[in-house]
Amino acid sequence: MALSCILPASTHLFERGGFFVLLDVPSGSIFSLDERVYQYLQVVLADSSMKGESVQRLTGLDAQTITEIEGELEQLVAAGCLFTQATQPTEDGSVLTLKSLCLNVAHECNFSCAYCFAHGGDYHGDMTLMTREVARAGIDFLVRESGVHHNVEVDFFGGEPLMNWDVVVDTMAYARSGYPLKKWRFTLTTNGSLLRDDMFPVLEANDVSVVLSLDGGRRANDANRVFKDGRGTFDTIIERIRHFTRTRDEGGYFVRGTYARNTLAFAENVRELHSLGFKYISMEPVVLSADSALALQTSDLPAIRTQYEELIAYFLSELGSGAGFDFFHFKLDLEAGPCLSKRIYGCGAGVEYMAVAPNGDVFPCHQFDGVQEYRMGNVLVSRALGRPELVAEFVHANFLFAKEECGSCWARFYCSGGCLANNYATTGSLLKPYALGCAVQKERIEAALAVKAAESPENKP
């Protein structure tokens, strides 16, 4: 192989869960390697000038094996799949249009979770519920701003949105009957405590995807998820959540856990959730100020890596035994995933996605709710977005390459620049990534890619 074609900066080589993986970052090509190729690449990617006997000595491979490896790699390079040249797309915010709206229908909650970013549901303000008029104005706003965009989404959030169930039901009916040419998709995030049987057919009829908050078994869940009086919530909610999810065996829900410093064994928490009968599971890291006792610290990264190793092993074991489950962050679609033009723009906060508070105020997303610096307008006035300069700021902030650290990061096309709210909360800047969050994200992405490698035909028995 002509060593001049080796571009270490365009690749990411790693081993996870006993699988050797090479990612070509610009093209998105992923290769499951055998150990010999992995050993070879470890050496030549570290020093592309390395050749001949030096490579043999450092890899322990003989000359014939190295020649065979280089021949295989040459074919991949010729096919345009490996060591591809990175390009930097041009920022073009004109492609972004509002298409998703979070209706924060309840600034109120019956839980008092220790890690809640919403301050127990009141968002550092008065406890209040959204009125029908505000919710309908939010729908009008979404339709108006989405223009010709056909597919639109509404997320009912809180606090606890089921405390305002009547408004949730009215809003869905208003959207479908008032704007039948739009294709509506609804989601609802709930702690599960107020779920009732009569709600199930309404959620089903409106094709509502439901996110149910549960951190694991009793010990993990009740460590942080408690009622206002400090009592654990597990015994109250578990059968309600199980009863609901049994009606959705084919999907339409995710049980979403959060792990914090006092519940760091999240692989066990996932096992517990699966053992309770849940098939669609997500587990997210907590994001808190560094001085919080529950906040993750840099010193926790080795433990987090170990947890992902355990989770890979458990996930693949269950898959192999026929008892597999969906883990949200392992669901990488390598064939029909987002195209590059979408990956270079992040979550869309403040542009493609916005949130409405109970009083009608518009914020870039639910995590900015109540941050007056980023109040963008109000849906009850004719010019709902009264601060176009904020929209422009978020168009730029969503652009992946606006963040200096992201431009050369191997994970850039998987995280798309990370969470702007987390950036702001931890660094004070939309454009300064949350470093610990980046490190955790990379652990998660490597784990997901390793699972994909394990699922490749050459690794199946």
* Contact call for residues 157 and 101 (beta carbons, < 8 A): no
The pLDDT value given to residue 458: 63
Q: Which amino acid is at 177?
A: S
* Contact call for residues 216 and 236 (beta carbons, < 8 A): no
Instruction: Mark whether 162 and 233 lie in a shared domain.
Output: yes
Rounded to whole angstroms, the Cα distance separating 211 from 251 reads 11
- Residue 38 falls inside a structural domain: yes
101-114 pLDDT per residue, tens: 999 999 999 999 99
pLDDT band at residue 337 using 50, 70 and 90 as cut-offs: low
The answer to whether the Cα torsion of 178, 183, 189, 193 is positive or negative is: positive
Identify the domain boundary among 69, 87, 105: 87
- Residue 150 falls inside a structural domain: yes
* Contact call for residues 112 and 120 (beta carbons, < 8 A): yes
Instruction: Mark whether 129 and 82 lie in a shared domain.
Output: no
- Residue 101 falls inside a structural domain: yes
Instruction: Mark whether 178 and 321 lie in a shared domain.
Output: yes
Q: What is the 3-state secondary structure (H, E, C) of the chain?
A: CCHHHCCHHHEEEEEECCEEEEEECCCCEEEEECHHHHHHHHHHHHCCCCCHHHHHHHHCCCHHHHHHHHHHHHHHHHCCCCCCCCCCCCCCHHHCCCCEEEEEEEECCCECCCCCCCHHHCCCCCCEECCHHHHHHHHHHHHHHHCCCCEEEEEEEECCHHHHHHHHHHHHHHHHHHCCCCEEEEEEEECCCCCCCCHHHHHHHCCEEEEEECCCCHHHHHHHCEECCCCECHHHHHHHHHHHHHCCCCCCEEEEEEECHHHCCHHHHHHHHHHCCCCEEEEEECCCCCCCCCCCCHHHHHHHHHHHHHHHHHHHHHHHCCCCCEEHHHCCCCCCCCCHHHHCECCCECCCEEEECCCCEEECCHHHCCCHHHCCEECCCCCCECCHHHHHHHHHHHEHHHCHHHCCCCCHHHHCCCCHHHHHHHHCCCCCCCHHHHHHHHHHHHHHHHHHHHHCHHHCC
Q: Tell me, what CATH number does 192's domain have?
A: 3.20.20.70
Instruction: Mark whether 21 and 43 lie in a shared domain.
Output: yes
- Residue 431 falls inside a structural domain: yes
Instruction: Mark whether 255 and 301 lie in a shared domain.
Output: yes
* Contact call for residues 267 and 314 (beta carbons, < 8 A): yes
198-252 pLDDT per residue, tens: 999 999 999 999 999 999 999 999 999 999 999 999 999 999 999 999 999 899 9
Average pLDDT over residues 185-203: 98
50-77 pLDDT per residue, tens: 888 888 999 999 999 999 999 999 999 9
The pLDDT value given to residue 459: 58
pTM of the model: 0.93
Identify the domain boundary among 26, 61, 87: 87
- Residue 51 falls inside a structural domain: yes
User: 104 φ, ψ to 5°?
Assistant: -85, 80
Residue 460: is its pLDDT beyond 60? no
The residue segments making up the domain with residue 205 are 97-460
Residue 346: is its pLDDT beyond 70? yes
The pLDDT value given to residue 457: 64
Instruction: Mark whether 191 and 51 lie in a shared domain.
Output: no
Instruction: Mark whether 83 and 102 lie in a shared domain.
Output: no
- Residue 92 falls inside a structural domain: no
**102-106, 131-135, 166-170, 424-428: least confident range:** 424-428
The pLDDT value given to residue 336: 54
Instruction: Mark whether 66 and 213 lie in a shared domain.
Output: no
Q: For the chain, what is the domain count?
A: 2
- Residue 140 falls inside a structural domain: yes
User: 460 φ, ψ to 5°?
Assistant: -90, 140
- Which residue, among 226, 196, 213, has the nearest Cα to 257 in the 3D structure? 213
Instruction: Mark whether 240 and 265 lie in a shared domain.
Output: yes
Instruction: Mark whether 435 and 301 lie in a shared domain.
Output: yes
- Residue 196 falls inside a structural domain: yes
Identify the domain boundary among 23, 58, 87: 87
Average pLDDT over residues 419-437: 95
Instruction: Mark whether 103 and 82 lie in a shared domain.
Output: no
Instruction: Mark whether 9 and 102 lie in a shared domain.
Output: no
